[in-house]
Amino acid sequence: MAKATFDENRCKGCELCVSVCPKKIVVMAEDRINEKGYHPATVEDMDKCIGCAFCAMMCPDVVIEVEK
Amino acid sequence: MAKVFERPKSLIDIPMHYCPGCTHGIVHRLVAEAMDELNIREKTIGVAPVGCAVFAYDYFNCDMQEAAHGRAPAVAAGIKRVHPDNVVFTYQGDGDLASIGAAEIVHAANRGEKITTVFINNAIYGMTGGQMAPTTLLDQVTATSPYGRKPETEGYPIRVSEMLATLEGAAYIERVSVHDIKHIVRAKKAIRKAFEYQLEGRGFTLVEVLSTCPTNWGMTPAESLKWLQDNMIPYYPLGVKKEAK
């Protein structure tokens, strides 16, 4: 049981978190834009999250917190 | 559930101004994490450069001082000599450190000033719009080398870490990268080790971090990481360049 929380309004849509997720569950939310005007990164299938925190370690803007 | 990753206390909770995908943010976080782990935030003084990282003084949750372009090592050396019990670091890009500030970094290292420098090498001038830097690779196209950098007219990319490693005053010099998770973990260890060397009063320490500039390289952030890995690492080999016993 693990959970990644995204501070969506801080996201700049660089997609580096998407590129490092071993479970391929981090996606860009195509249905909404944030305060900065980007599609923010998010996880829709959180049950598959293993809490490795790779997304958070790769994020240049410290958008993501991970619990496990 | 326990937190396995959260914002370090040494990094102020405000948005950073860097472009999307810029690895400056990662390195800021690594420096802040190293400060947290060593519990030195209250006694650390950082010196910010001129360049993209000029606003570093807004982001680090420790005392900060801005320096004139390239002069961060000179300012830091002065602070450290007056406050020898404080931890003093500079955070500089390649335009700042390797070009206009080349004299300051060489002599700070040669005098063995007990400061730590975090040197961001992204092979280009970022803030001013992508001009050629001393670290720009051969044949790399920039705003001021539109046909690619040619050694006959622009010389060769400077390997700063190897150059400074020849100086007696340098105690610890390592080149790291942040293009994937494994290397990010190594980069954090190197920054932490540099701070530890300073706490032990061993001499000048520098960690060169190979970084990306997606905006001025004209690539996506993910493509930039691949470009770094394929082009920069062969010319700028990673590893410890000097470690005083």
CA distances from B193 to A21, B54, B76 (A): 28, 24, 19
Q: What is the total residue count of chain A? A: 68
How many Å lie between the alpha carbon of A14 and the closest alpha carbon of chain B?
A: 5
Give a yes or no: residue B95 inside a domain.
yes
Strands A26-28 and B116-121: unpaired
Coil, strand or helix: which one is B78? helix
- Interface touch A58/B20, C-beta < 8 Å: no
Q: Which CATH architecture has domain A3-67?
A: 2-Layer Sandwich (3.30)
Instruction: Please report the pLDDT score of residue B146 as a whole number.
Output: 96
Question: Which of A54, A57, A59, A66 to probe the B interface (max B CBs under 10 A)?
Answer: A57
What is the pLDDT confidence band of residue B114, given thresholds at 50, 70 and 90? very high
pLDDT in the model for residue B53: 97
A53 touching chain B per CB within 8 A = yes
Q: Is the CB of residue B166 less than 8 Å away from at least one CB of chain A?
A: no
The answer to whether the beta carbons of residues B187 and B180 sit under 8 Å apart is no
Domain ranges of chain A: 3-67
Distances (CA, A) of B191 to A45, B67, B205: 35, 21, 9
Q: Do the Cβ atoms of A54 and B220 come within 8 Å? A: no
CA B237 to chain centre: 16
Q: What Cα–Cα distance (Å) separates residue B114 from each residue in A15, B171, B206? A: 39, 9, 10
Give DSSP secondary structure letters for B3-66.
Answer: EEE---TTB-SS---PPTT-THHHHHHHHHHHHHHHT-GGGEEEEE-SSGGGGHHHHBSSEEEE
List, for residues B55-64, the tens digit of each pLDDT value: 999 999 999 9
Q: Quick one: pLDDT at residue B66?
A: 98
CATH number of the domain where residue B45 is located = 3.40.50.970
Chain-chain contact of B21 with A14 (C-beta, under 8 angstroms): yes
How high is the ipTM of this complex? 0.97
Q: What is the mean pLDDT of residues B218-234?
A: 98
Tell me which chain A residues have a C-beta less than 8 angstroms from the C-beta of B29.
Answer: 62
Range of the domain at B89: 24-243
SS3 state of residue B180: coil
Is B1 part of any domain? no
d(CA B57, CA B70): 16
B185: closest chain A residue by CA? A57
B219 Cβ under 8 Å from any chain A Cβ: no
Contact A57 B21 (CB under 8 A): no
CA B172 – CA B182 distance, rounded (Å) = 21
Please name every residue paired with B170 in a beta bridge, in sequence order, or none if there are none: B204
Question: What is the pLDDT, as a whole number, of residue B86?
Answer: 98
Distance CA A23, CA A41 (A): 15
- pLDDT at B51 > cutoff 90: yes
B8 lies in some domain: no
Count of domains forming chain B: 1
Instruction: Report the alpha-carbon distance of residue B166 to residue B142 in Å, rounded.
Output: 30
- Report strand pairing: A3-6 vs A41-43: unpaired
Is the model's pTM score more than 0.90? yes
Strand B3-5 versus strand A26-28 pairing type: unpaired
Give the model's pLDDT for residue B61: 98
Does B90 have pLDDT greater than 90? yes
pLDDT at B1 over 90: no
| Closest to B118 in 3D by CA, of B211, B209, B11 | B209
Res A1: pLDDT: 83
Chain B residues in contact with A68 by the CB 8 A cut-off are 1-2, 4
Q: What residues does B98 pair with on adjacent strands?
A: none
- Does B13 map to a domain? no
Percent of chain B with pLDDT over 90: 99
Q: pLDDT tens digits for B148-170?
A: 999 999 999 999 999 999 999 99
* Site from B1, B5, B6, B16 to mutate, A interface, most A CB atoms within 10 angstroms: B5
Closest-CA residue of chain A to B214: A14
Contact: A65, B225; criterion CB under 8 Å:
no
What's the confidence (pLDDT) of residue B245? Answer: 79
B29 interfaces chain A, CB cutoff of 8 Å: yes
B82 touches chain A (CB under 8 A): no
Residue that has been written with the tokens 């450290």 in this structure: B80
Q: Residue A53's pLDDT is what?
A: 97
pLDDT at B145 over 90: yes
Where chain A has pLDDT below 50, the residues are: none
pLDDT of residue B109: 98
